[in-house]
Amino acid sequence: MSPTDATQPHITDSHCHLDFPQFDGEVDALLARAAERGVHRMVTICTKLSALDPVVALAETHAPIFFAAGTHPMSVAAEPMVSVEDLLAVAAHPKCVGIGETGLDYHYTVESKVEQQASLRIHIEAARRSGLPLIIHARDADDDMARILSDEYQNGPYTCVMHCFSSGAALAQAALDLGFYLSMSGIAAFPKSQDLRDIFAQAPVDRILVETDAPYLAPPPNRGKRNEPAFVADTARVGADVFSMSYREFARHTEQNFNRLFSKATTWQS
């Protein structure tokens, strides 16, 4: 892999899916393209524990890649219900830096909402006990999401990032009030996403992360194409505009935020 371009500020893609078939045989090349744009780390997400092995292999093979693991809410009905012990066993891996993604999706899979809520609470307990941050997917479930996150926080604190945040202002504020983070994806860079950008602009810059959710949601100028970690720099440039700062300054903030939340990634030695 090419070394990171010293002229580019470091930045981290906090959420991607490099084990998906869209990247078969291309990981070395996409890591090189990422490095050319200063993207020196990325967290690839396992969405169901039955698919954990290739995710772990990516992290073990490539120094810039870390991973998180959990059961995506859209997979809850089709997968065995995960246990806290299952998640804690995965969390013990030296390159596992988060729990999830988990959450609630009432857009596509509302019929499994009861199971999704049970799974979410299991993931929260694993995050609480492991000390790793919870990674949340939320779609069309703002009220239940805010309620569960808050109720569970009363049972014991935990850390959390609202991945690919595109929900309403009330859920954003509920998450921020709990000390959680909001992650900016390519959606925030779409021309018609001004309302979402306004929500981000009201958040403290020390609670913002950036991500691709690759292979999905490529930001302009690559919208409609396969997303990849290098493109997180394009979303971050929009983020810099949202917060009225230079790209270098915004990248520095998001790096500090990532290091604070995903602190296990900062202690790993290759």
Convert the pLDDT of each residue in 17-56 to its tens digit: 999 999 999 999 999 999 999 999 999 999 999 999 999 9
Residue 269's pLDDT is 80
Q: Please tell me the class of the 11-267 domain.
A: alpha beta
The rounded distance, in Å, linking the Cα atoms of 218 and 133 is: 25
Contacts of 172 (CB under 8 A, 6+ apart): 162, 165, 182, 199, 202, 203
The rounded distance, in Å, linking the Cα atoms of 213 and 98 is: 15
Closest CA to 60 of 36, 33, 96, 92: 96
Reported as a pLDDT band with limits 50, 70 and 90, residue 5 is low
What are the residues facing 162 on neighbouring strands? 136, 182
Question: What is the token pair recorded at 45?
Answer: 């997400």
Indicate the pTM of the whole model. 0.96
Write down the residue that tokens 């805010």 correspond to.
146
Question: What is the token pair recorded at 192?
Answer: 């018609």
Q: For residue 251, how far is the Cα from the chain centroid?
A: 16
210, 232 in Cβ contact below 8 A? yes
Indicate the SS3 state at residue 158. coil
What are the residues facing 65 on neighbouring strands? 42
Residue 7's pLDDT is 80
Reported as a pLDDT band with limits 50, 70 and 90, residue 106 is very high
The rounded distance, in Å, linking the Cα atoms of 150 and 161 is: 14
In total, the chain counts a number of residues equal to 270
Contacts of 248 (CB under 8 A, 6+ apart): 9
Could you tell me the residue ranges of all domains in the chain? 11-267
Four-point Cα dihedral 47, 127, 119, 142, nearest 10: -90
